[in-house]
Structure 1
Amino acid sequence: DIELGKQMDASIEAQIQTAEIEGVDQNKIDFVREEILFPLRQRIMDMQQMIVVNQQGIVSLNVIRRNNKELIRGVNRAKTVTVSALRTGVMVASALYDQKIVMDKITILNQTTENIIETTSHMLKEQGSEIQKHSAEAMISPDVLKAAFAEALQAIDDVSNYKVQALPQMKETINMFSDMADEGQKVVEKIETGNNNILE
């Protein structure tokens, strides 16, 4: 629970400050910071990130749902217009009894179909190449992994200091995620209220 984690964080931080004032052994204080407070703040950040990501997903899916409704309306309108246009074309062709008009329409339809097929094939080719390109770019280079591993080995001696130095920033991040989660919750509640009103 995030709130429980925050309460534990505040309590531990207060105890650390008290211990520093009372002159408790610095090694003990550092141990609490590195092995208790640091992992706790990591866990709080992870839970907050999950909440924000879930809220973003709800908002995104709501937008997609609305867009789908608009697409359905557009398809229905297009069907109506298309049927009307076909009826008009048939009436004109029948009234004129002119096969050339029908042939011209078939030719245009074939050309349009060919253009659609050509355009679609071109788009598939471009997008396929682009997808492969992005896929290749996303692969992690062995050289990069090797360098990262070497840096990780060199950084072992600095981990302790990093954890202590990172604690203030982690607290700021926790506060930031709290604000984001609060805002996200308001949006989600607004969406749910709107959906309930629509269903009613």
Structure 2
Amino acid sequence: GGQDELRRDNAALQTERVRLWETMGKLQEYVVLTRALDGAVEDHIAGVDTTDPAQADTLRSDVLFPVRQKQQDLLTQLAVCAQGYLAMDVVRRNNEELIKGVDRAATTTVSALRISVMLASALDNQRKVVDQVNALRGTTEDLIRGNAEMLATQSGEIQRIAADPAVGAETLRNAFQEIYRTLDAIDTYKVRATETMAATVESLTSELRQAGGRLERSRTQGALEGGLG
């Protein structure tokens, strides 16, 4: 579509350049004519100026001025046409290069783009696989490292458990010491208790002696009172 637009522009520019060339040819003729008229008027004024300066000034104002003004306008128009003709030629040449550029874009550039897109997609897939492999490798290494650490730690614990008794010797020794102290305390208590018990027995024996007479008296009084009743 871009190429078609450029070709249409070039066709229009070429038509306009042909017209401008014809116009410039006519302008060139007019410029030659006005230049010749300018020279003739100037020569006539120069001849009149020697005899009638006032008339010469009138001719300069009324004849030479419009001739030169027309000549100036024609040259200006000719310059504009020449500039436009050259500018159109530059645009036409640039359009032709652009048309070639579109052909290159449609072949080489598009092919390069297609290859680049394919490579980008392939490299992206490759990157994803590399990341997955690295992730799997990292996870595996972490598991192996963790298993090795656990194996070393737990093996030591297991060997310690295997070497140690079910109950620690120090614990048993302390327990025996406590039992021994308890038994000694019991023996000491019993020894002291025998002395206390002996005193208690003696005291109870004395009390019972005193109570024996009273018990007998109480029994006798109860029998007498029962008989009387």
- Scaled by the length of structure 2, the TM-score of the pair is 0.37
Greater relative contact order structure (CA < 8 Å, 6+ sep): 1
Over alpha carbons, which structure has the higher Rg? 2
- Scaled by the length of structure 1, the TM-score of the pair is 0.42
